[in-house]
Amino acid sequence: MSAAENQQLKQVLREHELKATTQRIALLKLLDATHEHFDAEEIYLELLKKQKNVSRATVYRSLEALAEQDLVTRLDFGDGRMRFERSKGEDEHHDHLICEECGKVIEFFNLEMEAQQLSVCEENDFTPSTHTMHIFGTCSDCKQTP
Amino acid sequence: MSAAENQQLKQVLREHELKATTQRIALLKLLDATHEHFDAEEIYLELLKKQKNVSRATVYRSLEALAEQDLVTRLDFGDGRMRFERSKGEDEHHDHLICEECGKVIEFFNLEMEAQQLSVCEENDFTPSTHTMHIFGTCSDCKQTP
DNA sequence: GCGTAAATGAGATTCATTCTTATTTTTAAA
DNA sequence: TTTAAAAATAAGAATGAATCTCATTTACGC
Ligand SMILES: [Mn+2]
Ligand SMILES: [Mn+2]
Ligand SMILES: [Zn+2]
Ligand SMILES: [Zn+2]
């Protein structure tokens, strides 16, 4: 099903000089369908559940290749496992609030903060490539029930 | 030597309800003496070099206990190992620029950025506890020699 | 369709961190 | 100062995320 989406993802992969394997297509399709921040094991299990044959090693290798091409973004929430999300356009960059109680992740974007980052880099003659701006704490849901 | 410093660190540990073991004192003394961002193994090796008897497990456990009490700060530079630095006062909080070429770490503090973080938290009814603001890229030294 | 380079599967391996248990140390009280 | 209980430590085993190995399969330009 969704042969059109498959074709489109095949196209995307080739534009980034990546071979369009069924595993990579399935992985991209999975991440495209959600805003969740999966780790590699979760992605592996989801693909199995969807009857896709894939190995753990391929999940890791695919995520590496896709991240290299900025098709997915690696997220490090500091709990020992990397998370991944589908990269949206440059204009859709966002950072994260992470609830330490329930694990909920709230996405946000703050233009002034991004501007301050560039300003700090200039002051230090530093050429930025990526950044992590993660704020840990307690979300509104968890605040009420201590 | 520096019996005074030892006494002072003993005091600090007890104020935080931690037993003042020779290992914890040595670890704090080590981190007090530098601005470097050591990982656990480096700390372990440094302590061995200084003739302190300590085991890897104790380094990890001590760092956990000290971080719990905010006497040290855990840093995650995303390369698979945690780094640690001595926590300074609340007023001496800083974030990091990390050179992906040479590993150099530049510390910075930007008040406006911190203010924006609080503003984002308020907007989302989120109570912050800590944050990571790490900017990865290329330092001035590495820019020149590609 | 063919050939070749690249990707995959399955499991072994690595390496940071955590866990286990016997032993030692800290600390408060006698 | 000696003593006892609780806590911390040493040494190495265990864990788990991520990477690597190599035989097999697949993608894709011709
Ligand atoms: Mn996100
Ligand atoms: Mn620092
Ligand atoms: Zn929550
Ligand atoms: Zn550099």
Do B34 and B102 share a domain, yes or no?
no
- Compare all CA atoms of chain A with the CA of B78 and give the residue at the minimum distance: A76
Do B82 and B99 share a domain, yes or no?
no
Last residue of a domain, one of A69, A86, A103: A86
Nearest to A73 by CA among A99, A57, A95: A95
**Inter-chain residue contact A136 with B131, CB threshold 8 Å:** yes
Chain centroid, CA B114 distance in Å: 19
Do A66 and A102 share a domain, yes or no?
no
Of residues A146 and B142, more confidence is placed in B142
CA B58 → C1' C11, Å?
33
CA of A48 to the centre of ligand 2 (A): 42
Confidence band of B129 (pLDDT split at 50, 70, 90):
very high
- Give the count of domains, chain A: 2
Do A63 and A133 share a domain, yes or no?
no
Q: Per the structure block, which two tokens stand in for A71?
A: 């098709």
Do B51 and B63 share a domain, yes or no?
yes
CA A8 → C1' C1, Å?
27
Do B67 and B23 share a domain, yes or no?
yes
Q: Per the structure block, which two tokens stand in for B94?
A: 């800083």
Of residues A40 and B145, more confidence is placed in A40
Do A27 and A74 share a domain, yes or no?
yes
Measured in residues, chain B has a length of: 146
Look up the protein residue whose alpha carbon has the minimum distance to the C1' of C10: A55
Nearest to B54 by CA among B64, B41, B66: B41
d(CA B137, CA B143): 10
Last residue of a domain, one of B64, B86, B108: B86
Contacts of A124 in chain B (CB under 8 A): 97, 106, 108, 139-140
- Position A146 scores a pLDDT of 56
Nearest to A119 by CA among B92, B116, B127: B116
Q: Give the tens place of pLDDT for each residue, B66-75.
A: 999 999 999 9
Residue B49, pLDDT > 70, answer: yes
- Any idea what the CATH number is for the domain that residue A131 is in? 3.30.1490.190
d(CA A87, CA A69): 10
pTM: 0.90
Residue B1, pLDDT > 80, answer: no
**Inter-chain residue contact B125 with A106, CB threshold 8 Å:** no
Which nucleotides of strand C come closer than 7 angstroms to any CB of the protein?
6-12, 15-20, 25-27
Summarize the confidence of residues B32-36 as an average pLDDT: 93
Last residue of a domain, one of B86, B117, B135: B86
- Any idea what the CATH number is for the domain that residue B80 is in? 1.10.10.10
- Position B51 scores a pLDDT of 80
Residue type, A69: Q
- What's B52-115 look like in SS3? CCCCHHHHHHHHHHHHHCCCEEEEECCCCCEEEEECCCHHHCCEEEEECCCCCEEEECCHHHHH
Do B102 and B80 share a domain, yes or no?
no
Do B99 and B132 share a domain, yes or no?
yes
Instruction: State the residue range of the domain holding A78.
Output: 2-86
Residue A53 beta carbon within 7 A of nucleic strand C: yes
What is the rounded average pLDDT for all residues in chain B? 93
Confidence band of B144 (pLDDT split at 50, 70, 90):
confident
Do B66 and B109 share a domain, yes or no?
no
For residues A135 and B126, is the Cβ–Cβ distance under 8 A? yes
Please list the rounded mean pLDDT of every run of 10 residues in chain A (146 residues). Answer: 85 96 97 95 95 93 96 94 90 90 93 96 96 95 80
Residue B21, pLDDT > 70, answer: yes
Q: Which of residues 58-97 of B touch strand C (CB under 7 A)?
A: 60, 64, 80-82
B110 lies within 8 A of chain A by CB: yes
Do B69 and B25 share a domain, yes or no?
yes
Q: Which ligand is nearest to the CA of B104?
A: 4
Q: Per the structure block, which two tokens stand in for A23?
A: 């595993």
